Homo-oligomer: A and B are copies of this chain.
Amino acid sequence: MQKQPVAISRTPFPASEKIYVSGTLHPVKVAMRKITLTDTRIHGRKGDAVPNEPVIVYDTSGPYTDPSVDIDVTRGLPRLRESWITGRGDVEQLPQYTSPYVRQLQQKGDNMPGMSITAQPLRALPGKNVTQLYYAQQGIITPEMEYIAIRENQYAEKYYQENSPLWHQHPGNSMGANIPKLITPEFVRQEIAAGRAIIPANINHPESEPMIIGRNFLVKINANIGNSAVTSSIEEEVEKAVWSCRWGADTIMDLSTGKNIHETREWIIRNAPVPIGTVPIYQALEKVNGKAEDLSWEIFRDTLIEQAEQGVDYFTIHAGVLLRYIPLTAKRTTGIVSRGGSIMAKWCLAHHKENFLYTHFEEICEIMKAYDVSFSLGDGLRPGSIADANDAAQFAELETLGELTKIAWKHHVQVMIEGPGHVPMHLIKENMDKQLEHCHEAPFYTLGPLTTDIAPGYDHITSGIGAAMIGWFGTAMLCYVTPKEHLGLPNKEDVRQGVITYKIAAHAADLAKGHPGAQHRDNALSKARFEFRWEDQFNLSLDPETARSYHDETLPAEGAKIAHFCSMCGPNFCSMKITQEVRDFAAREGLDEAAVLEAGMQDKARSFAEQGGEIYQ
């Protein structure tokens, strides 16, 4: 077994360090990123340096950005949750994979190329339910829940105590969300117990750092990766996962459809600090050589168990594509655009039978609860064009997803609901309203929506608009879209564009909802901008590399980064500089802002003009 030449991105972000905040209920250590800022310096007054508090932000990048952690991708990440999982006393280690398919692969001996470890899978002991939903309903606050409570607060408790003015923010319009000022472990438990949030946390993915998807928490984003029949390699896929997390992906969906699908997934899961989702029907279809009509419940079932034992945290299951809904798509402009949806539609028509994912739904729940795999109930009939938005097919399926949610909850299996696609702005809110109505407040997880069809090459933007809006309205997780959507496979730069666009959408939604503390980073960045602290402005941004390189294209000299002007206006015209002068002038003259305008001002104004009206002399 030889090592693959994988180049994994591990450079820490500039001026940033990883900090670990300890829990009080459990021995959890929650990773966050601390961005250190420079001092504010008021020019013209020597020695006047006012320090700026560091800014602590939510960090999805995992151990990769902690230089003190030794990572060997052939061995996988440290198994953070392993002792929590085994410590609950409700799981058993299996002697081997249950799936005959995996056993065959293992016998062939060429599986998992390059991996030097193979974990033995865990499964719930007979009669046990190991889902976070089950624990929550028993009143148990798990380490995962405490981890999440600390993580969601982004160390806000520290700032709140200090009552920093940087914490000022607009109250927001929560659109019915119920977000507390500080997230407590008990609040997390309640939200999970109510089904309003999920913690995708397969007991076979202990490497994952706990995170939560729910309307009353920070809006999350998902990035899709995957090889394909046409291009890509396993090594690229692992780096894509790390790369996605680096820029802010909260979960990753592995949508691989090509060869070595099991092995690719193993690499990704063992090295992923975030939950992994899949669409198991893709692999099942692989197993029947791409012929949808040859699919069967047995093949699908085996695939579910295979992936559950490997550690997949959530499954997209297109159980709402019912036989009777298929004709509703025939007059659509773009028919069925979900791959999973079209596979199931083809199967249903070929056999004239009801979707086996629907007829076997309770058996699927039985499997998923033994590993704590969460449902992502797939929207197989989502609209693929503006013309098809909010149509009968789409909403019929949504109602069925609501019914299935109740069944999953009966089994204490966690559920989120997939939505949108292409939807014009004015029809977005109806999607959220109907989802809340029909799906009993289970978290909504939407692709975009794209708000127009006419911009292939820019669909991260067409969809970022819709994503921000639906996030504000209550969607808990936004599935990213890259510039290559509809056109080709995303490369690394496309993935970055997609992830950053969706971080923007999610953050814009958090601001609009009035999520406590959400505005802190905006305030800190804008203060840095106003004070010409260029380095801080770069370092506080979602993509410091790009911000810095754009600045340097015009003004590359190091001196320009402490200059009190920028290239847009040049030295004489900078509005920020002029405003600062106005403000400094008032301060220097011992005036508060009202006094500036009082009668005596006339004289002072004259002297200001006589001095040249400049502060920096």
Contact = CB atoms under 8 A, between A and B. Distances in A.
Give the residue among A456, A537, A566, A604 with the most B Cβ atoms within 10 A. Answer: A456
B290 A576 contact: no
B385 A231 contact: no
A343 B574 CA distance: 9
Contacts of A579: 329, 334-337, 342, 345
A501 B468 CA distance: 15
A568 B341 contact: no
Given A230-B554, A522-B454, A330 B583 contact: yes
Residue of A230, A457, A505, A601 ringed by the most chain B CB atoms within 10 A: A457
Interface string A453-483: 1111110111011001100100000000001
Contact of A609 (B170, B350, B425, B472): B350
A516 to B, nearest CB: 14
A613 B168 CA distance: 62
Contacts of A230: 554-555, 567, 570
Nearest to A494: B550
A257 B489 contact: no
Nearest to A601: B352
Given A335-B582, A469-B469, A567-B488, A504 B458 contact: yes
A573 interface: yes
A609 B347 CA distance: 9
A585 B551 contact: no
Contacts of A169: 387
Given A170-B386, A455-B541, A326 B509 contact: no
A145 interface: no
A21 interface: no
Interface string A533-575: 0000110111100110011111100000000001111111111
B613 A292 contact: yes
A451 B522 CA distance: 10
Contact of A523 (B385, B427, B468): B385
Given A327-B593, A335-B583, A505 B389 contact: no
Interface stretch (A111-119, A431-439, A524-532): A524-532
Contacts of A527: 333-334
Interface string A573-596: 111101111110110000011101
A454 B540 contact: yes
Contacts of A41: none
Interface-centre pick from A489, A594, A612 (highest chain B CB count, 10 A): A489
Contacts of A406: none
Interface in A133-175: 168-170, 172-173
Contact of A550 (B337, B385, B462, B484): B484
A371 interface: no
Contact of A334 (B328, B343, B576): B576
A578 to B, nearest CB: 4
A42 to B, nearest CB: 14
Interface residues of A, number: 141
B457 A546 contact: yes
A300 interface: no
A285 interface: yes
A323 interface: yes
A228 interface: yes
Contacts of A168: 387
A223 to B, nearest CB: 15
A360 interface: no
A10 interface: no
Contact of A613 (B346, B519, B608): B346
Given A330-B593, A350-B609, A472-B425, A575 B387 contact: no
B385 A508 contact: no
Contacts of A521: 453-454
A551 B487 contact: yes
Interface in A375-432: 384-387, 389, 422, 424-427
A468 B451 contact: yes
Nearest to A581: B346
Nearest to A339: B575
Contact of A425 (B461, B469, B586): B469
9 contacts: A257-B569, A285-B573, A386-B523, A451-B468, A454-B504, A455-B542, A455-B543, A456-B538, A456-B550
Q: Which 9 A-B residue pairs are closest in the complex by CB-CB distance?
A: A229-B570, A335-B579, A290-B572, A488-B554, A385-B526, A330-B593, A327-B593, A425-B512, A342-B575
Given A170-B427, A462-B508, 6 more contacts: A169-B387, A282-B573, A330-B596, A455-B542, A457-B546, A486-B566
